[in-house]
Amino acid sequence: MKDKLQAIKDEALKSIEEAKDLKILNDIRVNYLGKKGELTGVLRGMKDLSNEERPVIGQLANEVRNIIEETLEGAKTNLAKIERERKLTQEVIDVTMPAKKQEMGHRHPMNIVLDDIKAIFMGMGYEIAEGPEVEKDYYNFEALNIPENHPAKDEQDTFYINKDTVLRTQTSPVQIRVMENSKPPIRVIAPGRVYRSDEVDASHSPVFNQIEGLVIDKNITMADLKGALEVFIKELYGEKVKVKFRPHHFPFTEPSAEVDVSCVMCGGEGCRVCKGSGWIEILGCGMVHPKVLEMVGIDSKEYSGFAFGMGLERITMLRYGIKDIRLFYENDVRFLQQF
């Protein structure tokens, strides 16, 4: 058995010396040291040895194993070095060649305008408020003075999840939640995604974005509303833009108005975008209805307030002269690169 161990050692060392790559080295390790290797086979035969021979052969087998393992590691290190040098020689990199150009991303035009709007209102002391997109019917309609039989509650306009739950059709529910959980004075804007059952075309989408604002305090008047919106509009579109308020009706404000600005495309001269009128509607607003205040526990005799709401897509389209709302959602890089 001693002779057999010596023969295994000699054969293994010779094979290691002749190995040309790491794969062959691994095969040698398996052939001699693996579970079914030659050295393991010798060790299994030790059960037939006498008690005197067994420790001697065991020690010799361990010495052979250690020699083979050390020789394998040395050969592995040497072959890895040779392989690395070969790659360095063959894979030459010309450091004078220009690197691959990294394409930079572009901010979405609606994000640009949204950040500008936030900055304008935060500069006037407003805070940013958020709320759930899956909303209770109460917050989306009833708390906003929209009765059970109001046309806005028709299933043709609203996505109902069940009788009492909807995908919010506006961000006004955020205002109700803020008033329920905060005491006046309140000054917030609520940007967010809303849902309505509209056909997709150049100016409509079933999913779009709104920004609504709310101010509640003592002695708030329509003059405060007009002043705040005029500051906002001139900051966004420039000092030359004119602002006009027209009487309108919204269930949750009284009195109510729609706000027009002089056409940013033609400067008020009249064009296809403003249909020759020189004016474009951009948002709705009004004084918060006393009934809405009472429903959230605010004394309408002591406090008053105003609210306004606008579509982010419409504001962005007017700012950049974009004529099709679908461009915002197609993620065409050629379109986004312009911003």
Q: What is the pLDDT of residue 46?
A: 66
pLDDT in tens, 152-164: 677 668 899 998 8
- Tell me 197's DSSP state: -
Q: Where are the domains of the chain?
A: 2-90, 109-336
Instruction: Give the helix/strand (H/E) hosting 186.
Output: strand 186-195
* Whether residue 255 has a cis bond before it, omega within 30° of 0: yes
Which residues are within 8 A (CB) of 164 and not within 5 positions of it... i.e. 6 or more apart? 136, 137, 138
β-strand partners of 166:
135, 160
The number of C-alpha atoms within 13 Å of 219 and in the hemisphere containing its C-beta is 0
Q: What is the pLDDT of residue 47?
A: 66
> Would strands 186-195 and 279-288 be described as parallel, antiparallel, or unpaired?
unpaired
Tell me how far apart the alpha carbons of residues 19 and 52 are, in angstroms, rounded to a whole number: 38
* Whether residue 132 has a cis bond before it, omega within 30° of 0: no
Q: What is the pLDDT of residue 157?
A: 82
Tell me how far apart the alpha carbons of residues 144 and 175 are, in angstroms, rounded to a whole number: 9
| CATH code of the domain occupying 109-336 | 3.30.930.10
What sign has the CA pseudo-torsion 235, 238, 239, 243?
negative
pLDDT under 50: residue ranges of the chain: none
Distance in Å from the first CA to the final CA of the chain:
83
Q: What is the pLDDT of residue 5?
A: 72
Tell me how far apart the alpha carbons of residues 255 and 69 are, in angstroms, rounded to a whole number: 92
Reading the block at residue 255, the tokens are 């009195």
pLDDT in tens, 176-229: 999 999 999 999 999 999 999 888 888 788 999 999 999 999 999 999 999 999
Q: What is the pLDDT of residue 102?
A: 80
Which residues are within 8 A (CB) of 53 and not within 5 positions of it... i.e. 6 or more apart? 1
The number of C-alpha atoms within 13 Å of 141 and in the hemisphere containing its C-beta is 19
Q: What is the pLDDT of residue 36?
A: 73
Please state, in angstroms and as integers, the Cα–Cα distance from residue 10 to each residue in 38, 73, 75, 189, following that order. 13, 17, 15, 85
